Chain A
Amino acid sequence: MSHDHKQTFITKYIFSQDHKMIAKQYLITGIIMAVIGGFMSMLFRLQLAYPEQKFSIIEAFLGKDGMTPDMYMGLVTIHGTIMVFFVLTAGLSGTFSNLLIPLQIGARDMASGFLNMISYWLFFLSSLLMVISIFVHTGMASAGWTIYPPLSALPQAMSGSGLGMDLWLVSMAIFIAASLLGSLNYIVTILNLRTKGMKMSRLPLTIWAFLITAIIGVVSFPVLLSAALLLIFDRSFGTSFYLSDIFIQGEVLHYQGGSPILFEHLFWFLGHPEVYIILIPALGITSEVISTNSRKPIFGYRAMIGSIIAIAFLSTIVWGHHMFVSGMNPFLGSVFTFTTLLIAIPSAVKAFNYITTLWKGNLQFNPGMLFSIGMVSVFISGGLTGLILGDSALDINVHDTMFVVAHFHLVMGISALLGMFAGVYHWFPKMYGRMMNKNLGYLHFWLTVITAYGVFFPMHFTGLAGLPRRYFNNAAFPLFDDLLHINVVITWFAIAGGIAQLIFLANFFFSIFKGKRAVKNPWRANTLEWTAPVEHFHGNWYGDIPEVHRWPYDYSKVDENGEFWGGQDFTPQTEPIREGEEEF
């Protein structure tokens, strides 16, 4: 390993092959995308609460026409796409897989630093294209983040399905390539580059989560790529994979024999695993943070791994629950109800295990810990309504309403976002060698959870009242007039929540330069990354890579006299098993 080769500015900060630098690049890109996507949600929330009013902020950003129906759908579409793929897939997994895999398994870098660099730059390119697509003259892609054809296939059907859609598809194709390169690298690294003594059964749960996530990614992303390619063919080369018998704007189109339902199957074969690609890393991060800050082993380590694997496996056979009313055979509906509701079992096991980890702990409320607890709470609140949506008979009446929007924001949007914040606060010292300010962290946390609940809890009820999603306004339906005041409350919570994120941004960027310098192991944690020096250099450890002798969760382990082993409440993985000590 050569780690003292000369580095220029460009190889160190831009085309870096060092996993730590790449992790930071992913994080910063993710944060910028989150600011864009989050800001869009503020704009369309204003529209939902005050449909008749003009706002100078909306005109400043959207032009003189302000919020038109096309603009509304465009914003919703790009908001969804950015949040799901660019923030919570690349920004979350990309950051923490890159940062933690080599550091926590004891490797000097990823298996291929070069591929890793390519993966980031492809992601960067796709982000750039996605942002450019917002400014296209005919409008950004606006068929919803699910881009169902024929709407997305025919420029005649809506103006956003022209150049905007082309750019969306190209951007996503590049994104998928980036994600596949990244995932393969993670898998190979975890399987091959573990340090001596780091058995699979001694891996931190974060690494298990990243491994499983990468595997689902490799299994399902190629299917989305093929769905996108076929859509490109239908759009540009006149094929009929998804199109048939269409009469639009006074003429019959030549397409014959295709089926939009095929697209729905292909899309959701990725789309559902995708929500677990988002969620599982967040679950891994919170497991680690909760255990460290409870000064207790994570409860049921093996059950936690088992349930991640079970969730991952089941997640690939439940995609049909998005299609109960798509016109597919009702028998399939029964099958997908069955598999979908089964997921509740491993999810429940995880929730109970988190709660038991808190029990009789010595909870240290660092900002990362607060966000992790918030994540568990939100994950439960959002997950429970899955029992309604996963049950085909009940889904009939709430499918595609605001109830669904409330559900998925809580269970994957907000919960993964809180998990990501937990990770940022917890590993910031590892990334920048400085600490984030804890007081700003506290303020950020309390405002974020309360506003998140304030936004998404009432939203369930607008959905149960029958309000469809992706509606520009409800003026055409007096039936929904009494929902307007709920929408106003939701919007104010959303704006307050948005402003609260400025606290995070200030804390993050100032702390990079002005934060208090970190010590090597600020949270007194057991995992390997905290044995590496604070300063960064390619190769991670001076001298030999440390050896591992135990699992990562020996917190508050006591000997037969009831005293802490070694006099402190944590035992790093590098400590050999002591005499008389039983390995867990």
Chain B
Amino acid sequence: MKALFFILIFVGIAVAFWQIVKLLGLLKGNQVATEKENNINGWLMLGLMVILYLIMSVSLYKCRWVLLPKLSASLEGEHIDTLFMLTMGLILIIQFILQFVIFYFSFKYRGKDKNYKARFFADSHKLEMFWTIVPTVVLTALIIYGIWTWNMVTDVTNKDQNPIYIELYAKQFQWEARYAGTDNILGDANVRNIKGMNTMGVDMTDKNAADDKTVLKEIHLPKGRKIIFQLRSQDVLHSAYMPHFRAQMNCVPGMKTYMGFTPSVTTEEMRKNEDMVKKMKGITEIRKAKSEKLVASGEDALDPYEFDYLLLCNKICGNSHYNMQMKIVVESEADFNTWLASKKTLAQVLK
């Protein structure tokens, strides 16, 4: 019933628009644009250009600190960032120029003069060649650079870097992880082995499995070592998204997928990063303001914000998709080894 009420309001607003125009006497008369209207709309086109530039620059300016800090937290990510800045620079230049030309032409050639003759200009092979070849050259460069970067960041077969193998395991709506243990080989696994404490379905008859270590809630990574993630899912598609490391890969039930990177900034170092300090300060202020309201209405205050790397789920996976995360801690290799040594092996856990 209330819905009907709202619908009536909308209909009312619509009818009002028509009636106002009718009262203004604008319904009568010629409905084709006149010279006067061409003139006004031509100027408005120039106005639109200004508004568009305004929206673009305000967005760019305001969002400086909101963006992921320009600092990538992985070595591979640095190449992605370079390519990104290059492409973004190119896009912004083209955008500013083309939008200018569109709106400027719309303004300049507005049909304000009855006797003006448009120019019959239907074709020019020279011009067309020019704007086919220029994009082709630019794109060739982008394609080559892009594919080179892609090949580098997706290479998970290179054993020279002595990588550490970690499995990320996704299920509705939680992440688990498994470290490969002293042999640095992950034991086989299948959902059909899931039982009791063996929540990841590791096949304990596989000799590589006994020394694997599973962890919940947070994973630790050593700075400077190549990490190769093996991803699995227990139920539906999920996506392991680690924005700060410029890394993402889907978790597909029935299949293993892989991604890898080399963490290059520890959590502590990132918290001291200049951009990050500004971002944390901003967020803490926002949370403080919100907390005051919460406390006034008798609820608990929010914690101040402290930066942590995160693993997010980035593929719609059900009801709590928006809250499926795990903390990532990057630390020195020595700290990492101590942390890992404190964890029990699967064989110990399942005994």
Contact = CB atoms under 8 A, between A and B. Distances in A.
Interface in A453-476: 453-454, 457-458, 460-462, 464-466, 468, 470-474, 476
Given A151-B237, A365-B33, A438-B37, A507 B18 contact: yes
Contacts of B127: 352, 356
B250 interface: yes
B95 A380 contact: yes
Interface in B115-146: 116-124, 127-128, 131-132, 135-136, 139, 142-143, 146
Nearest to A255: B254
B262 interface: no
Chain A contact residues (Cβ within 8 angstroms of B): what range?
Answer: 35 or more
Interface stretch (B210-218, B219-227, B321-329): B321-329
Contacts of B77: 397
A553 B118 CA distance: 13
Interface in A321-356: 325-327, 330, 333-334, 337-338, 341-342, 344-345, 348-349, 351-353, 355-356
A150 B235 contact: yes
B117 A564 contact: yes
Nearest to B305: A478
B321 to A, nearest CB: 7
Nearest to B235: A248
B33 A337 contact: no
Given A364-B111, A440-B21, A482 B14 contact: no
B318 A466 contact: no
B248 interface: yes
Interface stretch (B3-11, B179-187, B263-271, B342-350): B3-11
A69 B102 CA distance: 42
B162 interface: no
Interface residues of B, number: 134
B41 A506 contact: no
B90 A387 contact: yes
Contacts of A359: 105, 109, 119, 121
Given A157-B236, A502-B17, A373 B45 contact: yes
Nearest to A369: B33
A78 interface: no
Given A243-B254, A440-B21, A151 B317 contact: yes
B31 A558 contact: no
A344 B135 contact: yes
Given A157-B172, A370-B41, A377 B316 contact: no
Interface in B266-304: 279, 282-283, 286-287, 302-303
A327 B322 contact: no
B91 A384 contact: yes
Interface stretch (A4-12, A55-63, A201-209): A55-63
Interface string B53-97: 001100110110111100000000101100110011011001100
Interface string B1-32: 01101100010011101100100001111111
Given A458-B63, A484-B286, A252 B95 contact: no
12 contacts: A61-B6, A247-B194, A294-B109, A295-B111, A344-B135, A380-B95, A397-B247, A435-B31, A439-B26, A482-B282, A502-B17, A506-B14
Interface of A: 56-57, 59-61, 69-70, 73, 143-144, 148-151, 154, 157-159, 243-248, 252, 256-261, 294-303, 325-327, 330, 333-334, 337-338, 341-342, 344-345, 348-349, 351-353, 355-356, 358-366, 369-370, 373, 376-377, 380-381, 384-385, 387-388, 391-394, 396-397, 399-401, 435-440, 442, 446, 449-450, 453-454, 457-458, 460-462, 464-466, 468, 470-474, 476-479, 481-484, 486, 499, 502-503, 505-507, 510, 514-516, 522-523, 553, 555-558, 562, 564, 569, 584
